Structure 1
Amino acid sequence: MTAFSLDPGQTSWCEELRALAEQRLRPLAEKGEPGHVNRPLIAALGESGLLDRMLDSGALDLCLLRESLARGCTEAETALALQGLGTHPVLRAGTSAQRARWLPEVRAGRAVAAFALSEPGAGSDAAALTLHAEPDSGTGSVPGRGWRLTGEKCWISNAPEADFYTVFARTTRGAGSRGVTAFLVPADRPGLTGTALDMLSPHPIGTLCFDGVPVTVEDVLGEPDRGFRVAMDTLNLFRPSVGAFAVGMARAALDATLAHTAERIAFKGPLKDLQAVSHQVAEMATRTEAARLLVYAAAAAYDAGEPGVPRRAAMAKLYATETAQYVVDTAVQLHGARALRRGHLLEHLYREVRAPRIYEGASEVQRTVIARELYANKEASA
């Protein structure tokens, strides 16, 4: 078996996932209300065992899961990924009580999770967040065991409809990334409100306003002032899988392009016989395969506990998301005006493919991570 090729069992599983996405999940996605959490779709993900598989998977399985679902139904892929992003900190850093309360509900598709890191002034620069947690001398029945959260989160997927939020707040001022604590905040806490945002691609996403929201030591994920580590652990796992999502979209666009250019007659023959077309299709396929292999390599490195995971994860996300943008755009060009019609697969992908180059660290941030690690390794070996 060559490096990063799939064995027959993995290939079969990917095809099963794609068929499930197309036949069962896509109809549920199409019935959902744009811009809102699709709870029947999430319930179906739970009933099919995919949420279980996601939470129990390593990075490579997570990538195969996201790529295969994205190829058949991007909404299903996104719903699953958001559940993972919001729940992974609980899985890895939560207390036994937190895990017992929320993980069975997530696995069954009954509870909706959200990852609340970004703020209006702290998106890519996550260490600059300003949502602050002030010590609360009178939280609950035991004084001195809690905080009050005050501030705002923005661009939070599944907000304001999630059932619980993984929230990152500043507990020590002036300490940069070392003064951030992760909290598990149920949506029904007093003082927590939110507003939905209308985005280019109509996903559930919104703002959260914290007006003295009470949290206690029982709500901390991990250790106080060590929440940035929780965030980075989550992002190091999910960044390659964002690349897998992008690869899935690129493969869907490539599939559609192969079918269209083989059937569409122009200039007395199929489009595929025009060198200008066939060479573009070849370029689309080559870049997609390169992105796919880079994603698998990053995921395998994460699973093996190898050094350089942040750099590899950044490379995978950067290259795969930029590639997907290119492939989808080229597919639209080769399809012509029909691809711009509302409801066409490529019109849908064209809107979907733009955001992954921004969220979980924009492409520019990924380049910074890569360069920083390269120079650090050079200095260490000098």
Structure 2
Amino acid sequence: MPAFSLDPTQTAWCAELRALAAERLRPLAEKGEPGHVNRALVAELGRLGLLERLFTSGAVDLCLMRESLAYACTEAETALALQGLGAHPVHAYGTPAQRERWLPRVAEGSAVAAFALSEPGAGSDAAALELRAERDTGGGAEGDVGEDTEGAAEPPVAEPDGPARWRLTGEKCWISNAPEADFYTVFARTTPGAGSRGVTAFLVPADRPGLTGTGLDMLSPHPIGALAFDAVPVTADDLLGEPGRGFRVAMGTLNLFRPSVGAFAVGMAQAALDATLAHTAERDAFGGKLKDLQTVAHQVAEMALRTEAARLMVYAAATAYDEKAPDVPGRAAMAKLLATETAQYVVDKAVQLHGARALRRGHLLEHLYREVRAPRVYEGASEVQRGIIARELYATMEAGQ
């Protein structure tokens, strides 16, 4: 894997993104209602052309966007990332009709996407999900499940014409953008007792009958909710990928987005580090400046060291993804693990070095302190990432024997 460094074009683009985030996105973010989708912010991301880049660029580009936006406006970063997470399965696995219907609207910011994998009893253990996709015996030939839908008509928005092929029954929980998204990538069990091999992915418009949701009041002000499926109808036209291969859709999406979660974390860590550099250089203490105290200087050095190490691992993983390297799952897990744990450390140290002012509502570090905790949990908790890393290491060892 070659060493990663930004070229002058990338450096200039990151600087431009930081400026756009501060000048155009931050004011919109501040007008948003905590816990709800900020559609004005999403639309502005579309007008700036950033959402379209989710489908035209690689993992490195995605990481550059997420790190740069996170540095100046975490809300904008999260809005962009959630559009990508919810819509990537449609981009990568959807039919032409599905892509034509939804992706242009996602790119322009007029349709909000969501990725519905987690459940009350199946968060980190995604293969244990229990949302049922039961065959509707009211009609439809058994043999045409999973038929070729290339060139199929535009999927219906409400109750499909004729009997549904499946009915979705169960719950999803901790779903970002729920219950306000316009469509959901939903993972449901089509084969009981088959673990990850019995999961199928569906594209489910939000106005399907039987689909309801409620918002959840979380520590960080992201839009997160729970969904209830009461015999929600779906057909073969709503499939994302093949029946029984939905776990492949989920893991393919997460392998792309896990390094970029790390980029989000690096952006927050860098913001906290820069704030700490400025504060310790200006703050009078014990007859000098805070930075003159060796204990402070060493802590700042450690913050910088860890942030840069995390950044390099994030972009190494993103480069591996773009080059279709065989070790992407392990690298993606390492990048997410190191970067999110590092950001937690850096932000916590920054708060300590700032003192009580950093805990005041509205302070940058108070905001980052709330924001930085969740990435260590979502898209696979840190413990899950360690399990993935170990599994990949042993698999590589056994393959070489």
1:131-160 C-alpha deviation (Å, 9 max, x unpaired): 0001012365555x6100000000000000
Q: Quick one: which of 243, 257, 273 aligns to 1:254?
A: 273
Check conservation: 1:54, 1:65, Cα contact below 8 A: no
Between the aligned partners of 2:339 and 2:299, the Cα distance in structure 1 is 18
Between the aligned partners of 2:320 and 2:43, the Cα distance in structure 1 is 32
TM-fit CA distance, 1:250: 0.1
Amino acid at match of 2:65: L
1:121 aligns with 121
TM-fit CA distance, 1:174: 1.1
| 1:81 and 2:100 correspond | no
Q: Quick one: which of 273, 289, 302 aligns to 2:308?
A: 289
Amino acid at match of 1:62: L
1:92 aligns with 92
Between the aligned partners of 2:384 and 2:135, the Cα distance in structure 1 is 33
Alignment root-mean-square deviation, CA: 0.9
2:7 aligns with 7
Check conservation: 1:132, 1:171, Cα contact below 8 A: yes
Between the aligned partners of 2:395 and 2:107, the Cα distance in structure 1 is 40
After TM superposition, the score normalised by the length of structure 1 is 0.98
2:171 aligns with 152
Between the aligned partners of 1:25 and 1:379, the Cα distance in structure 2 is 49
Amino acid at match of 1:117: L
1:272 aligns with 291
| 1:236 and 2:255 correspond | yes
1:95-138 C-alpha deviation (Å, 9 max, x unpaired): 00000100110011000000000000000100000000010123
Structure 2 residue runs without a partner (length 5+): 140-159
**Within-5 A mapping of 1:122-141:** 122-138=122-138, 140-141=160-161
2:155 aligns with none
**Within-5 A mapping of 1:1-382:** 3-138=3-138, 140-143=160-163, 146-382=165-401
Q: Secondary structure at the match of 2:53?
A: helix
TM-fit CA distance, 1:54: 2.0
Q: Secondary structure at the match of 1:160?
A: coil
Between the aligned partners of 1:158 and 1:357, the Cα distance in structure 2 is 19
Between the aligned partners of 2:138 and 2:347, the Cα distance in structure 1 is 55
Q: Secondary structure at the match of 2:185?
A: strand
1:22-51 C-alpha deviation (Å, 9 max, x unpaired): 111000000000000000000000000000
Q: Secondary structure at the match of 1:248?
A: helix
Q: Figure out how many residues of one structure are paired with residues of the other and give that number.
A: 380
Of the structure 1 ranges 85-94 and 131-140, higher mean CA displacement relative to structure 2 is found in 131-140
Between the aligned partners of 1:3 and 1:311, the Cα distance in structure 2 is 18
Between the aligned partners of 2:268 and 2:228, the Cα distance in structure 1 is 33
Q: Secondary structure at the match of 2:115?
A: strand
TM-fit CA distance, 1:378: 1.2
TM-fit CA distance, 1:290: 0.1
Between the aligned partners of 1:141 and 1:295, the Cα distance in structure 2 is 46
Amino acid at match of 2:362: G
After TM superposition, the score normalised by the length of structure 2 is 0.94
TM-fit CA distance, 1:265: 0.5
Amino acid at match of 1:156: I
Between the aligned partners of 1:202 and 1:147, the Cα distance in structure 2 is 35
Structure 1 residue runs without a partner (length 5+): none
Between the aligned partners of 2:192 and 2:389, the Cα distance in structure 1 is 28
Check conservation: 1:112, 1:163, Cα contact below 8 A: yes
Check conservation: 1:247, 1:292, Cα contact below 8 A: yes
Between the aligned partners of 1:81 and 1:364, the Cα distance in structure 2 is 22
Amino acid at match of 2:347: V
Residues 21/141 of structure 1: CA separation in 2 closer, same or farther (3 Å cut): closer
1:308-358 C-alpha deviation (Å, 9 max, x unpaired): 100000000000000000000000000000000000000000000000000
1:48-81 C-alpha deviation (Å, 9 max, x unpaired): 0000112211000000000000001000000000
Q: Secondary structure at the match of 1:51?
A: coil
Between the aligned partners of 1:141 and 1:264, the Cα distance in structure 2 is 68
Between the aligned partners of 1:366 and 1:149, the Cα distance in structure 2 is 30
Between the aligned partners of 1:229 and 1:380, the Cα distance in structure 2 is 21
